[in-house]
Every structure is written in C-alpha cells, then in structure tokens.
Amino acid sequence: MAVRPIDANAMLNELKPVGFEADHSAVLLSDVSKMMREWVERQPTLTPPNDWISVKDRLPESGQYVAVYSEYFYSIGVWKRYIDTVLMKNFSGKYDRVKVLREEWFVLTEDGDEVLVDDDRVKYWCELPELPEKELREWKEWDKKYGLD
C-alpha cells in the first residue's frame, strides 16, 4: 500500500462531535469502518516538500531539467551524462577518435541555450514542479498542431 500524506487540518475541520442517540446504536462496526475509510480517502493530499539536494548526496537523472544553485547563480539547469567523441594523440603522434563518458552540468540562458558550467560551481539542485494540467494539455496540443511531438 502506497503512503499518501493527507492534510490533517482539513480532516479535523470536517470532524464533528457525534451524539449517540438511540438511532446511532444500531450502526455496525463494519459500517463505521467503511465510513471512516471513505472519509480519509476524501481528504486532500499534501504536496511533498521540494527540498534542495546537495550534488554530493545525489544527482538528478541525466537530461532532467532542475533548478540549480551555486554561490554565483541560481538558474534552470540540466545534468547530462553522455558519450562524446574526442581526438587524442596516440604514441605514434597521430590522432585517434576516442569515445569518452562525459558528466556535465549545463544551465539555460535567457534565450534557452544550454551553457556548460564547471561541475564544482553547482552546489544544490531541486526538482521543478509539474505544469498545471490545463497548461500541460495546451502545450501538448500546440506541439501536436505544429508537428513537434
């Protein structure tokens, strides 16, 4: 069973004292259990905290856009892990193409371009919130209309 944190304040506001008159005495325990379960399921879900994560503790998924923070800037960035081809001089003095694994941070400029950042500059990152459902649907429709999906 997955954990679903609920808003206890909303639940307590809905809770009212019950008078135990004669007509309530015929309620079965199974009925009370069912009513309580339905009541809990109606409660709003809490939004999980979006805490900053140190790059020393964990990195985001490769290609996932996140908020990044350093002592010099705060921006939207992306951690990328990819294979790159570079030229390296071999023992005979000739150049060979060699594949290397790169793991690098990029930040977005105002124009939407990705600019490479020294890895030690980014100190913390935080997941970006999801777009509201209406805006997400509009973006998807726009992408489909213009063949970008």
- The per-residue pLDDT for range 77-94, each reduced to its tens digit, is 999 988 989 898 889 989
**Counting Cβ atoms within 10 Å, is residue 6 exposed (0-12), middle (13-18) or buried (19+)?**
middle
Residue 2 inside a domain? The answer is no
Average pLDDT over residues 21-44: 69
Specify the pLDDT at position 2: 56
- Total domains in the chain come to 2
Q: How confident is the model at residue 14 (pLDDT cuts 50, 70, 90)?
A: low
Q: What is the pTM of this model?
A: 0.53
One-letter amino acid at 21 equals E
Average pLDDT over residues 7-24: 62
Specify the pLDDT at position 41: 76
What is the residue-averaged pLDDT of the chain? 79
Specify the pLDDT at position 27: 61
Residue 48 inside a domain? The answer is no
Structural domain containing residue 129: 53-145
Among residues 110, 129, 106, the alpha carbon closest in space to that of 118 is found at 106
Residue 74, strand partner residues? 69
Residue 116 inside a domain? The answer is yes
Among residues 102, 104, 2, the alpha carbon closest in space to that of 60 is found at 104
